[in-house]
Structures are given as C-alpha cells and as structure tokens.
A and B are shown apart, each in its own frame.
Chain A
C-alpha cells in the first residue's frame, strides 16, 4: 500500500455487502488498486458479452448426459447485429426454421417441456451453468413428462424460444439464457418459463428466475423453483403475471420501472 493512500476505517462493513464500499482515497480520488480492480471486472463482463458460445462443446456435454441436441441460429447474423437489432434475435433464421420442420420423427413428437439454451448476453453463464443445471432438472423431472431435444440457439433473445416451441409442438418451453452481465456477476444465467407459447407471447406471459449461479441461486434451488412453477403452470394452464411464485424462495422481482 502506498503512503499516499487514506484507507477507510470502516472496512469491517464490507462483510455486509459486495458493494464497493470503504475503497479508501488518494486526495479524493480512487486508489490505483481500485481503478485496476474495476477495470478487470469490466473486462470480464465485456468478454462475457463478446465471447462466442462454443456450441459444439456444449452440445457434447449435454449429449453426454443422455439428452439429444439440435442447433439453431437466430436472424441476427453476428454479435453486432444482435446488439443493435433485438427483433432479429427473437426469430429463427430461415435455414434454422426449415431444419426444425424436418427433424426426424423421434425428435419431433410433441413434448411437455422443451428446453432451449440461448447464448444471450453471456456465453460464459451458459457454458458454466447449463450442464449442471440440466442435470438437476432431469433428476427432478416428473416421471411422465417428456422433454424432447435440447435446442441450442445462437445470437438468441428470450422470445426465440416461442418460435422453436411452436415448431416442435411443446406444451411449455424453458429458455436458459445468459443474462446482461454485471460487473460483479459476468456469468449470471436467467431462466424463462412460458406455458402454451405462441409467437404473440410477451414478457408478461413468462415467469423469470434470475441470477442462477453458485454465488446467487444455486442449481438445485433453481431447478426446484423452475419445476414448482412448471407444475403450477400445468395446473392453472397459464404462466407469467397470472402465475404468482409462491415456492419456498424469497421472491425477487423487477417492477415496472426504467431503472
């Protein structure tokens, strides 16, 4: 530590929060160490956004768990278009739409719960958390429920799962997608459940579970919460705002605000 630094004598409060408190100061500015820490965290988050998902590796891991996979691509040709045109990320490319129509009969039978994996804004989240989460999900799946192939979608936004589910005649669809990375959470996975998905669905028709990662909501808890919601969706024949999450977890939801 350099002599110039004035440390803050309330560092013990850091045990209460991951917020960047008690950073100390040089003059009234940030010490070098803190500037570099922040820069590193930002670099991790930027890379999480721009690193392409290693689809082949992920497919191999999922297939090793005994689940067949199918790969599709959205209408967004690359990351640049993906970031600027959310509408393109919500629809299948023409090639992918065709290939889903012509799947072998074994993969095209109507299913109860279809799992779609989307790179979203963090491929890191998908690579780290999707295989262990799927394992937890399959273990807890009600016996009579059919799952279908796991569809891996590149340059995907949440709503692309609706088009995939319509094509594959799924009663419910679950989207596992990399969330907008935060500075302290570059690898946070989001889960969206939609009952009776159609192309006309909006965010109000989905239930969301966010911050899935070992430091946030762990895999077992996330799988438990998802299947609780899925069973309720089947019982009530609805998902989204009309399906209130009353599983044992503390509910953490965003409200209708800009920020």
Chain B
C-alpha cells in the first residue's frame, strides 16, 4: 500500500506527474463537491419517485411498463463502461501510449452510447404501452428520474468526445489530464446513481 495520503477522490496521479498532480488537488476536490450537490439533486428526484409510485391515476403501473431484461443489460453495459474507464485512468496514470488511452476512451464511449440506445428503446416501448409522462404523477416522476440520469450519461459522452479532441490537439497536458480525471469521477458517480435506479425503480417496481 502506498504510504502517502490520497489527495482527492478518484485515482490519484501520484508524484510522478509533478505539477499536474499538485494542480489536481483543488480541481478534483471542487468537482467532487459538485458531484455531492448533484447527488442531492438525484436524491430529491428519487424522493419524488418513491412518494409518487402509487400515483398511477388508473394508468399503467410498474409491472405493465418495466422490462427487467433490458434493465439488466443496461446495468451490465454501465458496469463494463466503468471498468473500461478505469483502464483509461490507469493508462493515463502509468503513461501508456496515447493510442491505448484513447482506445479505452472510445470503448467507454461506445458502451455509454449503447446504454443510451437501450434506454431510448425502453422509453419508446413504454410510450407504446401508453406510459407517457403526462399520463400520471407516477409516470411524470419516472420520466424525471431515469432520463435525468440518461442526460447525465449523454453529457458524459459529449465530454468524452471533447476530451479526445483535446488530447489529439494538445496531447496530455495538465488540462486534458485533469479533464479525464474529472470525467472519471463523473462516470463512476453516474454508475452509483444507476445502482440506486435499478434497485429502487426496476427491481423495486417488479417485486
């Protein structure tokens, strides 16, 4: 185990990265604080969902709308993307070749986009069964929570593309390194939110 205290959440670059490691401290702390604020945002949306889940107003409910298999596949996709992002972080920290780093990033991006594809497919099949957000308080709450997470993932994908662009343009300078590290926090954080979503929404809804 390395003796030094970890400076910030997420994979620390370590002293081998010199000034980038120093610059990371307040930047990563700041981003982590933002994520905590975001966590409260999700918490409130979860609270809305939990207290609205019975408010179907005669419309379709959880059993009629949710698809366990699809939720399971989405979970695996996100989990895999968390792992591939971890590999990208390692490639950054241990200064592997740029192409290896970008390779892991592209893999993560693909997993994220497939996840979004599955999610959109879920939504459209819910729409087909009459599960539109304006149908009931329950569906409104659902379409607040799950697409909010989806929007975050979409934002993460866009950020991933921009970071790849920055790497190609500037190489691995302080800016891109800190960008990848922040996005890593963001990505893993979204995976944690997803754990809550599949447990509360899908599994809880299908018991």
Whether both chains belong to one complex is answered with no
Show the binding face of B for A, using Cβ within 8 Å: none
